Structure 1
Amino acid sequence: MLGLTHLDRPFDYLVDTDQDADAKPGVRVRVRFAGRLVDGFLLERVAESDHPGKLGWLDRVVSAEPVLEPELAVLCRSVADRYAGTMSDVIRLAVPPRHARTEKETPRERSETPVTAPNTSGWHDYPAASSFLASMQSGHPRAVWQALPGEDWTSRLAELAATTVAAGRGAILVVPDQRDLERLERACAPLLGDRCVTLAGGLGPTARYRRWLAARRGSAQVVLGTRSAVFAPVRDLGLVAIWDDGDDSLNEPRAPYPHPREVAVLRSHQQRCALVIGGFARTTEAHSLVTAGWAHDLVADRSTIRARSARVLALSDADRRIARDPLARSARIPAVAFDAARAAVEADAPVLFSVPRRGYVPSLACSRCRAHARCRSCHGPLQLDASGAISCRWCGRGERAFRCAECGGTQIRALTTGARRTAEELGRAFAGVPVLTSGGSAIADDVPTGARIVVATPGAEPVAEGGYGAAVIVDTWAQLDRADLRAAEDAVRRWMAVGALLRPHADGGTLVIVADSQLAPVQAVIRWDPVGFADQEFAQRAELGFPPAVTMASVDGSSATISSFAQSVELPPGGEVLGPVPLPPGVRPPAGSADDLGGDVQRILLRVDRGAGRALTSALVAAQIRRNTHRDTGSIRVQVDPPTIG
């Protein structure tokens, strides 16, 4: 467990007779390496070694609990190879730290009460679901599932897990965050009872290790959790399901940065288990599995989609109300949005306003030249709080006297209005109607029935019983104008998540997107066609040479360090080197973290055809080995298919 690339391989040690009974594959051990005692895992017992030199002795077996069983060890090795990392780094993500007292506790008995096959009538809206559920009994089907608007996705996943357990196998269900995990746990409890455990970062080390051991020992057959739960040691695994794989919360911040979706794909292939990647929208990575024929579509027919979706409006000159309103395209909340909100309030239904920023006025600009107002210390964006104080959103430094660096102007204007300021404005516009905000540290899980205004940031939208009567998505430019490859895809994902909370159009549900209706992301939501949009995005990525159509690796660090490293990588034929370019502060590792690269950070991209991906990762590992053995100075960060490509 040294974390060095040139030492990322098994080493042979002798086992004495006193340790023979406990020294089983998967146990934690202590060994002497380079003159000091280090932690390790026993991978395999062999009768003879092919090492020509003298072997050392195993110092001791730390615990007789085989926490890294062969199946999990093979998975960790595959993930390390996929992401050009070390197996020890992956094991740290997959196996929680030991808690000796918890290991000594008497394990709870596995429930012997058989789980009956659940009622799966909720899947009848998806024509291919019946064959998928039938093949789960004996095979390992793989599907990308597009949930219908208003779908109770937690119940559908719980039914899949119960179907798997009824067949005598285990399941892993992965969701982006704690809020989704709590909803999923409530849905699974009636069907699975104590056969189900949750794993999340918020648990203490004792509780987390106790639940992890319950899965390893077989007393828990279903594991629900956030991103690291995809490694859970569930026995006889029959299903892995990932919900909303495009959520940023699933991006692993620690090396080698594996995504749960890719880990689930590897695990499904190696352990012959079913795989479901679900969401209201679809990522290009998930769609690439369908286009390659490796996974199948699990979607409803168009008539069902139309019946379940809300009416979607956007800014279009063909709409008479917008054509008659000269300020429709310049107003933050046009008249058509207010009309939809008023109609919902009059029908005693809640209304949702989705605002991309929390706070009061989180983005400011010079009144004269409209240049972004930046901090003089760290160049971060300036913000305005409710008391009128101006400060930096990144470093928190106060700005007493603003002066524009571009034109010298001293006047400032709001560029983005946050959720708190929006709530104040809507409170005046809808006098007498309760206003609720959700976002940041104060997130509401649900809202009571009746007319009320809800202002929420993306991902913090509370669920309304019976659905919202109307929803308005404002400041769409903040999501679409980001200089990022995934900006449009992420906008569609967030907008569809809002649209899924609405009532069907037959019941008056209306979604207003304050953006030009001719934009491709807006059209995808109007048609409610995430599959078609993902197909279009995938075709564009293939034409431009971006993931997932190609394999790409990013190398971050100082200009001299990354240039030297890139030159040492022996790229496969047709490989390209792009850059270097400065790395935006928002993409950099946080200061003081293990990946802190200093102030002047740049990025180089290495690009090869998808079929040469394994060759690229091997070349990256070889270059890192040379770098370690030569003891090159300067920190770098290597990511394969990085989640953010500015």
Structure 2
Amino acid sequence: MSSENENPEHREVRAGEAPEQLALIRETVRRAKVPRAKPRTWRGAALAKELPVARVVVNKGVLHLDQFFDYAVPEELDAEARPGVRVRVRFGAGAHQVQGGRREGGRLIDGFLVERRATSDYSGPLAALAGVVSPEPVLGPELLRLARAVADRYAGSLADVLQLAVPPRSARAESRPSPEPLPPPPPPDPRTWRRYEQGEAFLTALAGGGAPRAVWNALPGPHWADELARAVGAALASGRGALVVVPDGRAAARVDAALTALLGEGRHALLTAEAGPEKRYRQWLAVRRGSVRAVVGTRAAMFAPVRDLGLVAIWDDGDASHSEPHAPLPHAREVLLLRAAHDHCAFLLGATGCTVEAAQLVETGWARPLLAPRDQVRAAAPLVRTVGDTELARDEAARAARLPTLAWQAVRDGLRAGPVLVQVPRRGYVPRLACERCRTPARCGHCSGPLEAADQHALRCGWCGRDAPGWHCPACGGARLRASVVGARRTAEELGRAFPAVPVRTSGRDHVLDTVPGRPALVVSTPGAEPVAEGGYAAALLLDGWAMLGRPDLRAGEEALRRWLDAASLVRGQDEGGTVVVVAEPTLRPVQALVRWDPVGHAQRELAERAELGFPPVSRMAAVTGRPEAVAAFLAGAELPPETETLGPVPLPAPPPGGARRPGDPPPGESWDRALLRVPPGSGSALAAALKAARAGRTARGDDSVRVRIDPPDIG
């Protein structure tokens, strides 16, 4: 007789059992669910003799679990379980929080080992580490400290920040050794930095091991990438590292080429999404191992683990690409400011324009301005001319072809000397239509959505898709329509008919050009997609300026001026005949700032108005969004600082059907409210901590229906 706990796989074949029965028994055993072995614990496993406790941060980004967890280190993992490595742990099955708390699940999840300790704060049995994913240490104490600071500032979890800071693992990349580090280069020649009043002194301080902090208003033209490269070269000459964050891959490629031309190969790493996961991780490892001391990259590079950091720099901080769309939604500028403070390194914020945040850094004395004298500005900037609505109404050419006479002349004269840039606020054919007589927007009679031209004769709603035959203006009864904002393709068609012998090229979201030749051509581009022309553009047209200025956003004027300056910076200087025509009301502040080429003065006036109204960046603000009842309950239960001012809640407009959803937009079919919380300077940390604690309490109860965003970009 066999015992009750006899293993069926190993029992002998009894007499009379047919082969078919034996096969059935084996198949039943094969399909049986084998119970999982219990995790080894402090009491039952052979542990490491020294520092047998591993403190781990798990990749579980819920706020009520935003803390470290203790695990036992098995003896066989003692050598590999070093601080900074990736580990696998069985979360919840015997694992306890450092401060106590409930258990969560029992599945294997990833994490990072942050510390080895002799004892644990928890007195019960500990689960053992399930395994070490890789012996490569990827999370150092500096990066951990930075991630913790970013999580606290943005009311987020450490695990979410680490997901942004540490790229996914590539075993092939880890198996390849990184090159030997090169010796520091000699200090670079300042060259075009001499055009700025304190430019040469800034580079000298960097090369001497100093930590200057500057807001740099770059002169128009192609030199900004080389000037950034020389700032990096000065930091490397002091034996320290440097980090440069730019908005997109095109800008990164320009700085990459400038660094290679100045310093040669092997001194810097390029961290962009275009490189692919394996190559990007290999470059990141070279930085982490100390083989490369300089980094240029896009948004994710703000966390690059550069050793002995001597300089952090950001280019064009007003670009929306610098704002991370994943939790906890940090901005690259703020992360670099934290790094400059923690690492006591130099800081450089550069742009052709100037944001109010940059102006505040100078206003408070935290950073010094890097400006060029007015004679240098006038020599480098093109001549800017304006066309207002009053002139457009009287201009026959504008009514017939949407190009005012002044712009027409600028295009004609510019094509004699080189390419001409035409900036259009929208892509596509005719995104928005309005009554030709009174300019009332053409709306759908069913859902009030904007009417668009489906083709040259039919109208269709951009929201519900219904056709709108026989449209008449509800305000004046007119039946004729005009394009209020004409897209890039339609503008290219119109210009092609007006200048039939000239090639027309377009650059936009679907197809972005990087460069164009210096011969005569018309280049129609949406904002931010303007290609660089060899030798610079002879002229530029900035069309439909009112559409950019009329957005219901606190930053509408700042953003319009930034877009105009970026495009106008690609035009030749006034001494070379470069001309820019902007179609916008000349009396408006952003238009006047463009004419005078005075982005700093515009930012200073905007900052003064923000200070009077209590708007960011003078104050700190947070947005709370969700279903109306959830937002109300959240605000009622949160222990906010006493100086908090609550604005709202108010209904949050839903994105149009079929449109792209942004972080914080309500799901389709749901109605959400938004409340804005405002605190004076110095209370931002207290507000973030209170919001994080309130949201953690709700997530612990299984309610994650409220979204919190610190420093929301659109509060208008």
**TM tier, shorter chain?**
over 0.9
Contact 1:325 1:335 in 2 (8 A): no
What is residue 578 of structure 1 aligned with on the other side?
647
Task: Give how far 1:401 is off.
Answer: 4.5
Note closer, same or farther for the CA distance 1:405–1:312 as it changes in structure 2 (3 Å cut). Answer: closer
What is residue 349 of structure 1 aligned with on the other side?
418
* Rounded Cα–Cα distance in structure 2 between residues aligned with 1:465 and 1:205: 33
Task: Give how far 1:192 is off.
Answer: 3.7
* Rounded Cα–Cα distance in structure 2 between residues aligned with 1:324 and 1:39: 64
Contact 2:178 2:289 in 1 (8 A): no
Which structure has the higher relative contact order (CA within 8 Å, separation 6+)? 1
Following superposition of structure 1 onto structure 2, how do residues 416-431 of structure 1 map, counting pairs within 5 Å? 416-431=485-500
Letter in 2 for 1:253: P
Following superposition of structure 1 onto structure 2, how do residues 174-253 of structure 1 map, counting pairs within 5 Å? 174-190=245-261, 191-253=263-325
Of 553, 556, 567, 1:487 maps to 556
What is residue 612 of structure 2 aligned with on the other side?
543
Task: Give how far 1:359 is off.
Answer: 1.0
What is residue 340 of structure 2 aligned with on the other side?
268
Task: Give how far 1:367 is off.
Answer: 6.8
Deviation per CA, 1:475-509, whole angstroms, max 9, x where unpaired?
01110000011100001101111221111112211
What is residue 326 of structure 2 aligned with on the other side?
254
What is residue 117 of structure 1 aligned with on the other side?
187
Secondary structure of the structure 2 residue equivalent to 1:124: helix
**Once structures 1 and 2 are overlaid, which stretch shifts more, 480-489 or 175-184?**
175-184
What is residue 386 of structure 2 aligned with on the other side?
314
Letter in 2 for 1:339: Q
Is 2:77 the partner of 1:19? yes
Note closer, same or farther for the CA distance 1:590–1:359 as it changes in structure 2 (3 Å cut). Answer: closer
What is residue 525 of structure 2 aligned with on the other side?
456
* Rounded Cα–Cα distance in structure 2 between residues aligned with 1:507 and 1:360: 34
What is residue 51 of structure 1 aligned with on the other side?
122
Secondary structure of the structure 1 residue equivalent to 2:151: helix
Secondary structure of the structure 1 residue equivalent to 2:642: coil
Stretches of structure 1 that go unaligned for 5 or more consecutive residues are none
Task: Give how far 1:113 is off.
Answer: 5.5
Letter in 2 for 1:147: A
The structure whose Rg is larger is 2
**Once structures 1 and 2 are overlaid, which stretch shifts more, 69-78 or 514-523?**
514-523
* Rounded Cα–Cα distance in structure 1 between residues aligned with 2:392 and 2:209: 58
What is residue 293 of structure 1 aligned with on the other side?
365
What is residue 143 of structure 1 aligned with on the other side?
214
What is residue 158 of structure 2 aligned with on the other side?
87
Note closer, same or farther for the CA distance 1:17–1:627 as it changes in structure 2 (3 Å cut). Answer: same
Q: What TM-score do the two structures reach when normalised by structure 1?
A: 0.92
* Rounded Cα–Cα distance in structure 2 between residues aligned with 1:323 and 1:416: 14
Secondary structure of the structure 2 residue equivalent to 1:516: coil
**Once structures 1 and 2 are overlaid, which stretch shifts more, 87-96 or 397-406?**
397-406
Task: Give how far 1:168 is off.
Answer: 1.9
Aligned residues: 639
Task: Give how far 1:59 is off.
Answer: 2.5
Of 116, 123, 131, 1:60 maps to 131
Secondary structure of the structure 2 residue equivalent to 1:98: coil
Contact 2:435 2:473 in 1 (8 A): no
* Rounded Cα–Cα distance in structure 1 between residues aligned with 2:161 and 2:227: 31
Note closer, same or farther for the CA distance 1:590–1:356 as it changes in structure 2 (3 Å cut). Answer: closer
Deviation per CA, 1:588-624, whole angstroms, max 9, x where unpaired?
9956999864432321111111211011001101111
What is residue 22 of structure 2 aligned with on the other side?
none
Of 547, 560, 564, 1:478 maps to 547
* Rounded Cα–Cα distance in structure 2 between residues aligned with 1:344 and 1:432: 14
Note closer, same or farther for the CA distance 1:582–1:324 as it changes in structure 2 (3 Å cut). Answer: closer
* Rounded Cα–Cα distance in structure 2 between residues aligned with 1:117 and 1:63: 39
* Rounded Cα–Cα distance in structure 2 between residues aligned with 1:269 and 1:587: 42
Contact 2:516 2:534 in 1 (8 A): yes
* Rounded Cα–Cα distance in structure 2 between residues aligned with 1:539 and 1:328: 41
Secondary structure of the structure 2 residue equivalent to 1:43: strand
Is 2:229 the partner of 1:158? yes
* Rounded Cα–Cα distance in structure 1 between residues aligned with 2:442 and 2:269: 48
Contact 1:110 1:195 in 2 (8 A): no
Letter in 2 for 1:106: R
Contact 1:448 1:464 in 2 (8 A): yes
Secondary structure of the structure 2 residue equivalent to 1:383: strand
* Rounded Cα–Cα distance in structure 2 between residues aligned with 1:521 and 1:439: 24
Secondary structure of the structure 2 residue equivalent to 1:143: strand
Contact 1:350 1:468 in 2 (8 A): yes
What is residue 8 of structure 1 aligned with on the other side?
66
* Rounded Cα–Cα distance in structure 1 between residues aligned with 2:539 and 2:146: 46
What is residue 127 of structure 1 aligned with on the other side?
197
Task: Give how far 1:328 is off.
Answer: 9.1
Of 604, 607, 625, 2:696 maps to 625
* Rounded Cα–Cα distance in structure 2 between residues aligned with 1:570 and 1:539: 31
Task: Give how far 1:547 is off.
Answer: 1.0
* Rounded Cα–Cα distance in structure 2 between residues aligned with 1:584 and 1:187: 44
Note closer, same or farther for the CA distance 1:112–1:179 as it changes in structure 2 (3 Å cut). Answer: closer
Secondary structure of the structure 2 residue equivalent to 1:212: helix
Following superposition of structure 1 onto structure 2, how do residues 28-43 of structure 1 map, counting pairs within 5 Å? 28-35=86-93, 36=106, 37-43=108-114
Deviation per CA, 1:291-339, whole angstroms, max 9, x where unpaired?
111111111111211121111112479xxx9699666997843222222
